[in-house]
Amino acid sequence: MGVIIAFVNQKGGCAKTTSAIHFSLALASRNYRVLLIDLDPQGHATLGLGAEIDGDKPTLSEVLMHTPLTGVGPSLEQTMISVRPGLDLVPANLGLAALEAKLASSPGREERLSEHLAQVVPSWDLVFIDCPPNLGLLTINALVAAREAMIPVEPAPFAAQGAERVLDTIEMVKEITGHLVAARLLPVMVSPRDWHAKTSLAQLREKHSGMVVQETVRRSILFARAAAAGKGIGEIAPRARAWGDYQQAAKACASRWENARALQRPRFTGLMTVAGGVSFTHPDLKPEDILLAGEFNGWTPDAGVEVIRGERGSWRKFLAVDPGRYEYKFVYEGRWMPDPGNPRRIRNLHGTHNSLVDVPQSIPEYRVGTGRNLRLT
Ligand SMILES: Nc1ncnc2c1ncn2[C@@H]1O[C@H](COP(=O)(O)OP(=O)(O)O)[C@@H](O)[C@H]1O
Ligand SMILES: [Mg+2]
C-alpha cells in the first residue's frame, strides 16, 4: 500500500513544486514506484518535468467531478502518463481552477481525491501531491488523502508564520473529517553562509521540535534553469550539491515513511475473511474496546461475536457469516469508524463511509467450521 504525501504551503514560490519534483525523481531513481499528482491548475510540476500532454486523455478535473463509487466518469488511472522510469504523473489542467466552485455544493467534496486514490494507491510505493498556493478545496482534498503534509519553508524571519497557517488547516481537516495528517517542515533555499538563515533555522527547530526534517536543501540558481528545460537539476547537473541535498532529504524521508508503514501494518490489519465467517484482533486493545457491527449482525455491536482467547492476553474475535457482500464498521471507544485496514469503502446515508467485505464461498486454507479452527498467533 502506497504512502501519500502532500507538498503544501499557501505561500507561492516556496518550493512546493520543486520539492515534489525532486523527491519524485530522487526516489524513482532509487527504485520506488512513484506517482506525482499535479493538483495546481498552473501545472508547474507538469511543465517542470517536461511532460507531453496527450489531449485525448481525460483530465484530472474531469476525474474529480465524480466520485468513483458511482462508476460515472473517467478514472484517475486514465489520466496518467509515464514521465521517467518508475515515475508516473497525473498532469494538471486549467479546469482544476473552476473545480472548486463546481464541487462547492457536492457532498463528500473534501474526500474526492482520496476516494479516487484509494482505487489506485496499492500500485505505487509513494504518491506525492503538488498543491496549489492556497488552502482551498483542492489543498483540503490533498490533506484528506495524505498521511503526511510536507511543508517547504525558507528559514527567514516570519517563515514560521506561513507554516503555522498550514498547521491550523491540518487541525481544521482533523475536526471536519476526523483525518489526522502528520506535518513536517522541510527547510529549503538555505544559504549555507547566511547567518540570518542559520538563526531562523535554529528558531524553527526549537519552535517545532521533532517536526523539522533534519536534511536541508541549499539555494541554487540551477533550479530555475532546470525547470525551464523541463528537467530536474540532477538531469542537467548530476553533481550539483543541491541535487545531493534533495537526494539525502528524500532518502531519509522515504525510510521514515517505510518504517512508519512497517510499524503500522501489523498493528491493526482490520477484518479478515476466514473459514465460515470474519475475524479480527488488535494487539494494543482489549476485546471490549473494539466492537464489530454490520449488515451481518443487524448493526448491533458485537452481536453474535465469539471471543477466542490465547496466550498472554491475546485474543481474536470471530463471527459466523454466510457468503456474500456486507457493509460494516468498527465501534472503538464508543465511536463508529470504517475499518482502517480496509481500503474498500462505500458512502452511507449519513455521508460517512462504511467498509465493505466479500465473504467468499469457501476458503481453501482453512477447514470450514467455526472459529475454533483458528490458530492464535
Ligand atoms: N533551493 C532553491 N534554490 C533556488 N531557487 C529555488 C529553490 N527551490 C525552488 N527555487 C525556485 O523558486 C521558484 C519557486 O519554486 P516553486 O517550486 O515553483 O514554488 P511553489 O511551488 O511553492 O510555488 C522557482 O523559480 C524555483 O526554481
Ligand atoms: Mg507550485
Taking only the tens place, the pLDDT of each residue in 301-323 is: 999 999 988 777 788 899 999 99
Bigger pLDDT: 251 or 1? 251
| Residue 303, pLDDT score | 96
| Three-point CA angle 91, 258, 280, nearest 5° | 105
Q: Do residue 133 and residue 244 come from a single domain? A: yes
- The ligand 1 atom at the shortest distance from the C-alpha of residue 218 is 1
Bigger pLDDT: 176 or 214? 214
Distance 92 CA to ligand 2 centre (A): 11
| Residue 376, pLDDT score | 37
For residues 147-163, average pLDDT: 87
Q: Do residue 200 and residue 331 come from a single domain? A: no
Here the cell at position 254 is: 522515504
Q: Which domain holds residue 348?
A: 272-373
Q: Do residue 259 and residue 289 come from a single domain? A: no
The answer on pLDDT for 122 being more than 90 is: no
Domain with residue 55: its CATH number is: 3.40.50.300
Q: Which of 264, 288, 316 is the last residue of a domain?
A: 264
Q: Read off φ and ψ for residue 185, nearest 5 degrees.
A: -100, 130
| Residue 237, pLDDT score | 98
Measured in residues, the chain has a length of 377
Q: Do residue 104 and residue 236 come from a single domain? A: yes
| Residue 266, pLDDT score | 46
Among 142-146, 242-246, 358-362, the range scoring the smallest mean pLDDT is 358-362
Asked if 345 and 353 touch (Cβ cutoff 8 Å), the reply is yes
Percent of the chain with pLDDT over 70: 93
> What span, in angstroms and rounded, lies between the C-alpha atoms of 229 and 223?
10
Q: Single out the residue of 228, 260, 188, 259 nearest to residue 16, CA to CA.
A: 188
Out of 223, 225, 243, 247, give the residue to mutate to test ligand 1, the one with the largest number of ligand atoms within 8 Å of its CB: 223
Among 4-18, 92-106, 263-277, the range scoring the smallest mean pLDDT is 263-277
Percent of the chain with pLDDT over 90: 58
180-190 per-residue burial string, b: 16 or more CB within 10 A, e: under 16: ebebbbbbbbb
Q: How many domains does the chain have?
A: 2
Q: Do residue 22 and residue 72 come from a single domain? A: yes
> What span, in angstroms and rounded, lies between the C-alpha atoms of 157 and 151?
16
Here the cell at position 36 is: 506525482
Bigger pLDDT: 7 or 55? 7
Q: Is 13 in the pocket of ligand 1 (CB under 6 A)?
A: yes
Q: Single out the residue of 119, 114, 123, 111 nearest to residue 1, CA to CA.
A: 123
Q: Which of 264, 294, 312 is the last residue of a domain?
A: 264
Residue nearest to atom 14 of ligand 1 (CA): 13
Distance 54 CA to ligand 2 centre (A): 22
Asked if 361 and 323 touch (Cβ cutoff 8 Å), the reply is yes
Q: Do residue 118 and residue 195 come from a single domain? A: yes
Q: Do residue 98 and residue 178 come from a single domain? A: yes
Q: Single out the residue of 132, 146, 152, 126 nearest to residue 245, CA to CA.
A: 152
> What span, in angstroms and rounded, lies between the C-alpha atoms of 107 and 351?
7
Q: Is 217 in the pocket of ligand 1 (CB under 6 A)?
A: yes
Q: Do residue 212 and residue 233 come from a single domain? A: yes
- 3-class SS of residue 316: strand
- The ligand 1 atom at the shortest distance from the C-alpha of residue 18 is 17
The answer on pLDDT for 173 being more than 60 is: yes
Q: Is 223 in the pocket of ligand 1 (CB under 6 A)?
A: yes
Q: Do residue 282 and residue 214 come from a single domain? A: no
Give the Å distances, CA to CA, from 255 to 16, 127, 251, 373: 21, 15, 6, 38
Q: Is 16 in the pocket of ligand 1 (CB under 6 A)?
A: yes
Here the cell at position 318 is: 470471530
Q: Which of 237, 264, 291 is the last residue of a domain?
A: 264
Out of 18, 134, 166, 219, give the residue to mutate to test ligand 1, the one with the largest number of ligand atoms within 8 Å of its CB: 18
DSSP state of 154: -
- 3-class SS of residue 162: helix
Ligand nearest, relative to CA of residue 10: 1
Ligand nearest, relative to CA of residue 132: 2
Q: Do residue 234 and residue 279 come from a single domain? A: no
| Residue 227, pLDDT score | 97
* Greatest mean pLDDT among 160-169, 190-199, 227-236, 329-338: 227-236
Distance of CA 211 to the CA centre of its chain: 18
Which positions ≥6 away from 122 have C-beta within 8 Å?
Answer: 1, 2, 343
DSSP state of 174: H
| Residue 363, pLDDT score | 53
Bigger pLDDT: 233 or 265? 233
Beta strand pairing call for 324-332 and 335-337 = antiparallel
Here the cell at position 126 is: 509513494
Domain with residue 365: its CATH number is: 2.60.40.10
**Mean pLDDT, all residues of the chain:** 88
Ligand nearest, relative to CA of residue 217: 1
Asked if 276 and 369 touch (Cβ cutoff 8 Å), the reply is yes
The answer on pLDDT for 293 being more than 90 is: yes
Q: Is 213 in the pocket of ligand 1 (CB under 6 A)?
A: no
Distance 16 CA to ligand 1 centre (A): 7
